[in-house]
Structure 1
Amino acid sequence: MNPVFHTPLSRRTALRGLGVTLGLPLLEAMLPRTLHAAPSTYRPLARSGAKPVPRAIFCYVSNGVNIMDWVPEAKGKGYALSPTLQTLKDHKEHFSVLSGLGHPRCAGGHSGGDTWLTGADLLSVPGKDYTNSISIDQLIAEKVGMNTRFPSIEIGDESGTGTATHSHTLAFDRNGTPLPAENSPQRLFERLFVADDADSREATLKRYAEKRSILDEVLGEARALEKKLGQEDKTKLAEYLAAVRETELRVQRQVAWVDVPKPQIESSGLQLNSKPGDAHDRPMWLDVMLELCYLAFATDTTRVITFEWAREAGGYGVGGENHHELSHHGGDPGTLKKLAEVDRGYLERLARFMDFLKNTDEEGRPMLDHTMLVYGSGMNSGTNGDHSPKNLPLLVAGGSACGLKHGQHIAHDPDKHPPLSNVLLTVAQKMGVETGEFADSSGEFSELV
């Protein structure tokens, strides 16, 4: 059902009697929000409308986790789930816990979201205080994006791109430029499933014509400029032109799909008015965004999604808790207990999403078998609240039809481990990307395949 709204009580409301007026404190009734924070009533489809194809979704939680309650004690196939991971007990055979991994080139801290899918050293270029590189989702999108209306979808709890080291998105193009995220369920639903009217169609074609003209002019000037440059500058110009050509391809793709009808999806049951920054709405917002991810996969509208559940140095827990403050726990038992509650709340949302994929048939197999989920954080809050890029919390789920093996805890020494980029490379390879390297990878993460 749709969310139920009420008219908020005026903050100027006062109690009056016997000639005396008393102002009231700020009450919940004065806040404009939904009346009932009931769980989503949306249910999965019996069958997917898409053909079985590899898909990947990357789900990011900020500020790390209570790592002591997260990492299982035993490793291998016979391991017992940790207290936090018990939340996923119904899916134990469909995911793997990866511990000890990290990004050796990354500084950690609040830049974790910027580097989680790039593995980049943000200070690698002398004279610059920030230089990112392509994220794994965009490498995948370059390979499979031409098959779908949207090469990739970017979601976050704050819209746009944010700022360097406090990004609102996980996705970066070949120039390391952030791709803006969407945080409104309503806008995302309309973008994916609401048919464009005639005016929208004409506007799209007009935008293409204008961009086409600009790109032609830029490329013409670039060819003239190239003759005057040294070899190093020619290399930089070539990288820039590659990004320009990618922009051109994106625009062309928009035009190619302008007359292709969008999938018809009913909005009933989708709580599209949920707000990510409203503590009351937060669980519903996470659920509806994951429902839209599920529907985007089930209609083959895209095959690659990045979803930043909360940005670094901010963010809310599922119940609106100040997740960032909790991550600076200082080893305090009470704070760690609250942090673990946030971790479990997030995993409940992940478990529900996996239920959707598991319970939807796709030509004789669950959608989960063709959908790879990477879930984790680019920060480890450690034993004292330090923000380390080592021993990052990480789960990989689904994708058995793509060749991934699960039901195991793959443990590595945090000081001696393969780079996390090996995991990202492996997912890309299973998505059909023919490459043997990504960022600082040393090869395939063989324990997953």
Structure 2
Amino acid sequence: MSKSISRRTALRGLGVSLSLPLLDAMLPRAKAAPSQFTPVEKTLARQPRMICCYVPNGVNILEWMPENDGAGYKLSPTLEALSSHRDDFTVYTGMGHPNSKGGHSGADTWLTGADLAATPGSDYTNWVSADQIAAEHHSKQTRFGSLQLSDSSGTGSAGHSHTLSFNRRGTPVPAENSPKRLFERLFVPESAGDRAATLQRYAEQKSILDSVLDEARALHKKLGKKDQQKLDQYLGSVRETELRVERMEEWIDVPKPEIDAKFLQLGSKSHDAHDRPMWIDVMMELSYLAFVTDTTRVITYEWSREAGGLGGGGENHHELSHHGGDAGMLKKLGVIDRFHLSRLNRFLDFLKETEDGEGNMLDHTMVLYGSGMNSGKGGEHSPKNLPLLLAGGQGLGLRHGRHVAYDENDHPPLSNLLLTMIQKMGVETDSFSDSTGTLTT
């Protein structure tokens, strides 16, 4: 049967109604089977890549942190989920952003390191995120400079962002949560009619932008210095939009890669408790394919927005993060943490099984995974001692198989790790956000 039948179904005849026993057909029908997606043999070309995967609400830090550090450390109960990749990642403990205030603004600052209250008179001021620095460097070589994925589309609200990416003015870059829309954007070719409509839309956008710029230049001369600065920031945003339209126009006649959607569960829903494992998997599969085809080299993926999220069995992740030290809730939180790492492990498998020049994809792909808060021993949502690990990138010069432990009250800023990643992506810069240098790799 394609649909389940009601448990109230009865057999009726000769005026008599007989109830039925519990039948298999009365149970909820599975909406999707586990993914049958398999990795491809090799990539189109070897390139440096980075993907930043974020989980909200912190973790059960008691089961996350290894007991000892260095190269000979023992995997913690939670990190055992990545045991097959033990030599492919480094776990960092004790690190955080000195400017972060903790709580559910962790996603807003995870890749920026910003002090959101730094500007007097403003409730929220963010900075550019590390992924966007890398994306600027590679954007001319790929159809998309970067991709932003999340369980909730758009940008969310200040302090509860739906995206990890922020441009040069600290403005959030909208995220996509639909596997179907993402697949169509990346791999479905446009018809002749679509192409004509797209070009017309680009032409109209450029016409509007030209008009805005002409009027803004005339207005600029009439303003005071403070207002001129505000207008300059606005014009920077307009210019960025103009460049983005130009880039899209250049790629419109470049055929998209041909990808078969047969084993991609594109109908999975991000906020459906049953679909949760399939949705995470298919978004990771699409990220993998985007890298394989060199459609982009930079991806951010917020697995759930802060103060939300579901476990693999539909558990309320946010509720469990407010555990207050309760042993039962901590145990359930650990189950969610291991579920998340099992999906990450699958993605690392794909990367390692795919040939990528001299080596495999994992050698040339950095995978940052973690959270912008620590739910701690009592569920206090601290900005200190964030759960973090960095996998892959050995071909870019990273060394792994270690636990690097810092004092949570005396540690290099997390921006040092982000600066290290930016440099490994080929960006020539000596600073990022509040960095004080790079980490020894």
TM-score of the superposed pair, with normalisation by structure 1: 0.92
1:383-431 Cα distance to aligned partner (Å, 9 max, x none): 0000111100000010111111111111100011111111111111111
Q: 1:273: which partner in 2?
A: 267
In structure 2, what is the Cα distance between the partners aligned to 1:28 and 1:251?
53
- 2:337 pairs with 1:343: yes
Which of 307, 314, 318 is the equivalent residue of 1:320?
A: 314
Aligned to 1:40: 35
d(CA) in 1 for partners of 2:154, 2:17: 49
Give deviations 1:105-144, integer Å, cap 9, x for gaps: 1111011111111111111222221222211111111111
Counterparts in 2 of 1:100 and 1:7: CA distance versus 1, 3 Å = same
Larger CA deviation: 373-382 vs 192-201 = 192-201
Q: Which residue identity lines up with residue 43 of structure 1 in the other structure?
A: T
2:425 aligned partner? 431
Q: Secondary structure at the match of 1:106?
A: coil
Instruction: Specify the alignment match of 2:232 in structure 1.
Output: 238
Matched, 1:201 2:201: no
**One of 418, 424, 436 as aligned partner of 2:412:** 418
Q: Which residue of 2 aligns with 1:398?
A: 392
2:402 is aligned to 408
- For residue 315 of structure 1, report the CA deviation from its aligned partner: 0.8
How far apart are the structure 1 equivalents of 2:211 and 2:4?
Answer: 53
Instruction: Evaluate the alpha carbon distance shift between residue 165 and residue 8 of structure 1 in structure 2; reply closer, same or farther with a 3 A threshold.
Output: farther
Aligned to 2:145: 151
- Equivalent in 417, 435, 438 of residue 441 of structure 1: 435
> Could you tell me the percent identity over the aligned residues?
61
How far does the alpha carbon of each residue in 1:364-383 deviate from its partner, in whole angstroms, 9 at most, with x for none?
31100010000000010000
Paired with 1:350 and 1:361, the residues of 2 have a C-alpha distance of 19
Q: 2:177 aligns to what?
A: 183
Distance 2:3 2:206 in 1: 48
Please name the residue that 1:54 is paired with.
Answer: 48
Instruction: Name the residue aligned to 1:369.
Output: 363
Return the offset for 1:236: 2.9
Aligned ranges 1:14-413 → 2 under 5 Å: 35=30, 37-49=32-44, 51-413=45-407
CA offset digits 1:138-179 (Å, max 9, x no partner): 111111111100111111111121122111111111222212
In structure 2, relative to structure 1, the CA distance for the partners of 1:107 and 1:15 (3 Å cut) is farther
The structure-2 alpha-carbon separation of the partners of 1:84 and 1:241, relative to structure 1 and needing over 3 Å to count, comes to: same
What displacement does 1:234 show?
2.9
Across the two proteins, how many residue pairs are aligned to each other?
437
Please state how far the C-alpha of 1:233 moved relative to its aligned partner: 3.2
| Aligned CA distance change for structure 1 residues 161 and 7 (closer, same or farther; 3 Å) | farther
Given that 1:372 and 1:398 are in contact with CA atoms closer than 8 Å, whether structure 2 keeps it comes out as yes
Cα distance in 2, alignment partners of residues 64 and 389 from structure 1? 10
Q: Matches of 1:315 and 1:371 in 2, distance apart?
A: 26
TM-score when scaled to structure 2? 0.94
Q: 1:405 to 1:313 in 2, by over 3 A?
A: same
Q: Contact 1:6 / 1:35 at 8 angstroms: preserved in 2?
A: no
Q: Which amino acid aligns with 1:47?
A: K
* Unpaired runs of at least 5, structure 1: none
C-alpha change, 1:70 and 1:238, in structure 2 (3 Å) is same
Runs of at least 5 residues in structure 2 that lack an aligned partner in the other structure: none
**CA-CA distance at 1:21 after TM superposition:** 12
Q: Secondary structure of 1:307's partner?
A: strand
Q: Secondary structure at the match of 1:56?
A: strand
Mapped to 1, the partners of 2:357 and 2:133 lie a distance apart of: 28
Distance 1:381 1:337 in 2: 13
Q: Distance in 1 between matches of 2:5 and 2:196?
A: 44
Cα 1:209–1:9 shift into 2, 3 Å? farther
Q: Distance in 2 between matches of 1:139 and 1:379?
A: 23
Q: Specify the code of the residue in structure 2 equivalent to 1:442.
A: T
CA RMSD of aligned residues (A): 2.2
Give every structure 1 segment of 4 or more consecutive aligned residues whose post-TM-superposition deviation is greater than 4 Å: 8-11, 13-22, 27-31
CA contact under 8 A between 1:14 and 1:21: conserved in structure 2?
A: no
